[in-house]
Amino acid sequence: MLKEFKTFIAQGNVLDLAVGVIIGGAFGKIVTSLVDDLIMPIINLVTNGGVTGGIVLREKMLDAAGKEVPAIIINYGGFLSTILNFLIIAWVIFLVVKVANKAKVTDK
């Protein structure tokens, strides 16, 4: 069983997948930084800070025992940031697949 596992791991597809997952994770972090550190501040500057906030449903308060109850906020800024991350990654994957498909067609 150990020998079969070693053969499985040594196959090219598994190694390619592992490299792809590692590079994909790193690329995801780069895109997150791009959106959070470069794009969102510009959007907030243009919208006068209207995108980073959220809608406060309930302010923080004290309960009957005097314990602080946290505020409830709909954080639409974080949601917008996540959508931008997804769209950028999806666009790059689309471009990579398009280039790969074009390369396959010219090989024939």
And the tokens for 46? 């243009």
Residue 5 pLDDT? 81
Residue 104 pLDDT? 77
Nearest CA-CA partner of 52 in 40, 35, 37: 40
Nearest CA-CA partner of 73 in 56, 51, 50, 52: 56
CATH hierarchy code of domain 2-107: 1.10.1200.120
Give me the residue spans of the domains in the chain: 2-107
Residue 29 pLDDT? 92
Residue 27 — φ and ψ, nearest 5°?
-65, -40
Low-confidence spans in the chain with pLDDT less than 50: none
Residue 12 pLDDT? 66
Given a contact cutoff of 8 angstroms between Cβ atoms, the answer to whether 54 and 77 are in contact is yes
CA distances (Å), origin 80, targets 14, 31, 74, 77, 103? 35, 14, 12, 5, 35
Q: What is the pTM of this model?
A: 0.64
